[in-house]
């Protein structure tokens, strides 16, 4: 049997690069989001400039956070975790570094195209057709590295996190290709801009394919790889094995088979067939089972170690992140019930649901993973536990302000839209509902400010941890180092 490699044998250069990417795109995307939140309260902030308008900043915000911040965290975790659980040093390092460079180049080009108004108009898939081609190349680079690592592995058994990473690669790749099929109009009709295209699908079919992709972009970018990260870092932080490996695999297969068919709940009361809407609702409700299977498995992994949450902010981020996962995966299926959806659809309640998962589940999990990785990659201790603790509470307060304000706003909106007078006419105009939302939007902006403040604290803590490691170069480094230090 091959001897297990030591801590110092691993190559973390690419993982380090993706951590820096996560910090940059995280603060960039969240800052754009906060700008949008304040623009809703103070519309004059856009200064009548096209590139500051809501319709250009909103896709910039979603792409920077979903693909910039989240995928940077996912890729950083992959290049860190894969070496450790497969027991092999990173293979194809040149390909991995090219992947890092091309990924960030894509994000820069994407930001400029979106601000310039170049958009396919498909949510979460707004990039023009020519950038789609580059995205496919970048994605295949990751896949090539993934399967090269699997081929070179020294560990026969694949830990469950690897299953989730593979599902992310295959799922996103398939969905992206089908939804991105388009016809560049200039090359076919010799009219319009060269970057413009039209979808190969039309009408209702286009909507169905879009939300097959859109919902599963949430599934295979914001859920599946984040579960992979949690299944590795929660047991490592707790220093004990996952509660049930069998449950993790049952939850994996349940999640993969069920999530794919829940997309129609985005199109309730639309022109798609009624049976498709019902099917989407049923699969959404069934989705609670594998989602909660993972959440319960992750929380039970902390059994006997709950005292750790009092002193370990990294464990707090990871465990509370998984708790938010449970909340979000209960709330989403409830919103998919037709009678509930009649009130919730198109309202701010949906925004509250999305950010309950994005800020709590995805954000906390990635930040917890980075807090765990960075001291180990740089052979040092976390700069300040107290700062991380304060960050956690500030961001948690921000999330509470955010989703509670959006819950109340959404139910208020839905109720006002449906209220009629004694003659059967609508009791409120659309402008009336907009005016009623201003206090809730203000509270949402406060919550976003707190979360962004916490993220800046996170960046400072990580930066000082790296800087601290550089001043310690040349000192004797143990095979493994504790993460935490005395509160600074």
- pLDDT at position 473: 64
Say if residues 157 and 89 touch (Cβ distance below 8 Å): no
Say if residues 268 and 335 touch (Cβ distance below 8 Å): no
Say if residues 265 and 284 touch (Cβ distance below 8 Å): yes
Q: In terms of Cα–Cα distance, which of 332, 360, 362 is closest to 65? A: 362
Instruction: Give the tokens for residue 133.
Output: 């081609």
Instruction: Give the tokens for residue 79.
Output: 């290049």
Q: In terms of Cα–Cα distance, which of 253, 304, 232, 242 is closest to 84? A: 232
Determine the Cα angle at 423 with ends 417 and 426, to 5°: 15
Q: Which long-range contacts (CB under 8 A, 24 or more apart) does 108-111 make?
A: 109/134, 110/63, 110/67, 111/60, 111/63, 111/64
Give the global pTM: 0.93
- pLDDT at position 481: 45
Q: Give the Cα separation of 149 and 94 in Å (integer).
A: 14
Q: Give the Cα separation of 379 and 410 in Å (integer).
A: 47
Per-residue pLDDT tens listing for the chain (488 residues): 344 444 458 999 999 999 999 999 999 999 999 999 999 999 999 988 999 999 999 999 999 999 999 999 999 999 999 999 999 999 999 999 999 999 999 999 999 999 998 998 899 999 999 999 999 999 999 999 999 999 999 998 999 999 999 999 999 999 999 999 999 988 888 887 888 899 999 999 999 999 999 998 888 999 999 999 999 999 999 999 999 999 999 999 999 999 988 989 999 998 999 999 999 999 999 999 999 999 999 999 999 999 999 999 999 999 999 999 999 999 999 999 999 999 999 999 999 999 999 999 999 999 999 999 999 999 999 999 999 999 999 999 999 999 999 999 999 999 999 999 888 899 999 999 999 999 999 999 999 999 999 999 999 999 999 999 877 764 444 444 445 443 33
Enter the CATH code of domain 9-222.
1.20.210.10
- pLDDT at position 260: 87
Number of helices (H), then strands (E), belonging to the chain: the values are 19, 2
Strand partners, 197: 184
Q: Give the Cα separation of 437 and 439 in Å (integer).
A: 6
> In sequence order, which ranges of 153-198 are alpha helices (DSSP H)?
160-179, 185-189
- pLDDT at position 464: 96
């Amino acid at each position: 049997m091959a001897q297990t490699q030591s801590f110092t044998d691993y190559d973390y250069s690419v993982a380090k690069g993706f951590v820096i990417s996560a910090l940059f795109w995280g603060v960039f995307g969240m800052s754009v989001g906060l700008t949008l939140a304040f623009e809703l309260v103070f519309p004059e902030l856009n200064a009548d400039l096209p590139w500051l308008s809501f319709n250009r900043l909103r896709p910039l915000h979603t792409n920077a956070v979903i693909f910039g911040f989240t995928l940077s965290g996912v890729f950083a975790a992959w290049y860190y975790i894969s070496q450790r659980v497969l027991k092999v040093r990173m293979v194809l390092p040149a390909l991995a570094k090219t992947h890092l460079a091309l990924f960030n180049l894509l994000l820069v080009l994407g930001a400029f195209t979106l601000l310039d108004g170049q958009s396919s108009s498909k949510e979460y898939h707004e990039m023009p057709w020519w950038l789609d081609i580059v995205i496919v190349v970048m994605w295949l680079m990751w896949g090539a590295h993934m399967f090269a690592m699997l081929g070179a592995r020294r560990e026969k058994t694949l830990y469950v996190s690897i299953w989730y990473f593979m599902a992310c690669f295959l799922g996103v790749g398939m969905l992206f290709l089908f939804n991105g099929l388009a016809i560049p109009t200039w090359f076919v009709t010799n009219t319009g801009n060269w970057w413009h295209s039209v979808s190969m699908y039309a009408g209702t079919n286009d909507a169905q394919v879009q939300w097959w992709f859109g919902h599963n972009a949430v599934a295979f970018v914001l859920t599946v790889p984040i579960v992979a990260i949690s299944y590795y870092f929660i047991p490592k932080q707790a220093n004990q094995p996952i509660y049930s490996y069998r449950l993790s695999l049952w939850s994996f297969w349940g999640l993969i088979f069920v999530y794919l068919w829940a997309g129609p709940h985005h199109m309730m009361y639309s022109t798609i067939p009624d049976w498709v809407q019902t099917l989407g609702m049923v699969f959404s409700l069934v989705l609670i089972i594998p989602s909660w299977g993972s959440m319960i498995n992750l929380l039970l992994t902390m059994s006997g170690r709950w005292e750790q949450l009092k002193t370990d902010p990294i464990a707090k981020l990871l465990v509370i992140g998984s708790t938010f996962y449970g909340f979000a995966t209960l709330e989403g299926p409830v919103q998919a019930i037709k009678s509930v959806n009649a009130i919730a659809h198109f309202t701010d309640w949906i925004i509250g649901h999305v950010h309950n998962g994005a800020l709590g589940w995805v954000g906390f999990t990635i930040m917890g993973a980075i807090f765990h990785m960075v001291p180990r990659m740089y052979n040092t201790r976390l700069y300040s536990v107290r700062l991380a603790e304060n960050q956690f509470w500030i961001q948690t307060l921000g999330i509470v302000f955010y989703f509670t304000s959006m819950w109340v706003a959404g139910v208020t909106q839905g109720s006002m839209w449906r209220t009629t007078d004694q003659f059967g006419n609508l009791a409120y105009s659309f402008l009336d509902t907009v005016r009623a939302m201003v206090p809730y939007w203000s509270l949402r902006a406060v919550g976003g400010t707190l979360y962004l403040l916490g993220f800046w604290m996170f960046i400072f803590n990580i930066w000082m941890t790296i800087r601290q490691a550089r001043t310690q170069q040349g000192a004797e480094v143990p095979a493994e180092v504790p993460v935490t230090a005395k509160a600074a």
